[in-house]
Amino acid sequence: GAVIGDDLQIGDDTVLEANVSIGHGCVIGEKVIIHSGAVVGSDGYGYATDSRGFHVKRPQVGIVQIDDDVEIGANACIDRAAYGITRVKSGCKIDNLVQIAHNVELGENCLIVSQTGISGSTTLGRNVVLGGQVGVTGHIILEDGVMVAAQSGVHNKQKAGTTVGGSPALPMKTYVRAAIQYGKLPQMGKELRKLKKEVATLQEKLEKSE
């Protein structure tokens, strides 16, 4: 069955499926669906390295707040904030196997597709779409309406309405052109080696003529 921590709030018409875990102090809104195996409010990934090189756990004392009409897929994980709130605003739809780190904020109506990871303290605006297996670095902002192609790596701020792809993420037109050229690299390599041989032959002939 589901595991429910102490001192939390769960709104009306919310569904928790089998083996869901909700950590203490979290706030879950109304008409939320949380699918099997999802974890909301686990400790964020926070450590400090001491003088001996050991990694010392930093207390994670914040909460997770899930607003109304959110759906969270199976085995997704949403970490509690180090301090303050990790927040998923209303209307967001989160697929299976998504990782949302501490102090992340998702704006209204975001779509987060399977196997995506969002690092700590990153903020997404409204209606942001992240394709499958996207990685987003920490402490950046993706403004309203940003769209990120599958398997992309986003490492800097993205302005409203931008569509990007690739790793590191590039404007979509640039990414498509680069992807086309990437497929041509083996042939380009053969042509370059041929040209190098021809240049070497010409250089040898010039040296002999002198």
Under the banding of pLDDT at 50, 70 and 90, the label for residue 192 is very high
Active-site residues: which are they? 102
Contact 100, 81 (CB under 8 A): no
Residue with the bigger pLDDT between 210 and 70: it is 70
Give residue 207's pLDDT. Answer: 87
Q: Cα(11)–Cα(16) distance, rounded to whole angstroms? A: 11
Q: Is the pLDDT of residue 105 over 80?
A: yes
- What is the pLDDT averaged over residues 78-103? 99
Taking the CB of residue 109, how many other CB atoms lie within 10 A of it? 17
Q: What is the DSSP-derived secondary structure letter of residue 158?
A: B
What does the H/E/C string look like for 13-45?
A: CCEECCCCEECCCCEECCCCEECCCCEEEECCC
Give residue 101's pLDDT. Answer: 99
Give residue 48's pLDDT. Answer: 97
Q: Is the pLDDT of residue 210 over 80?
A: no
- 0.95 exceeded by the pTM? no
Task: Look at strands 47-49 and 55-57 and give their pairing.
Answer: antiparallel
Share of the chain above pLDDT 70, in %: 100
What does CATH list as the number for 3-172?
2.160.10.10
Give residue 209's pLDDT. Answer: 83
Q: Which pLDDT tens digit goes with each residue over 13-50?
A: 999 999 999 999 999 999 999 999 999 999 999 999 99
Q: Which pLDDT tens digit goes with each residue over 136-186?
A: 999 999 999 999 999 999 999 999 999 999 999 999 999 999 999 988 999
Give residue 168's pLDDT. Answer: 96
Mean pLDDT score of the chain, rounded to an integer? Answer: 97
Q: Is the pLDDT of residue 208 over 90?
A: no
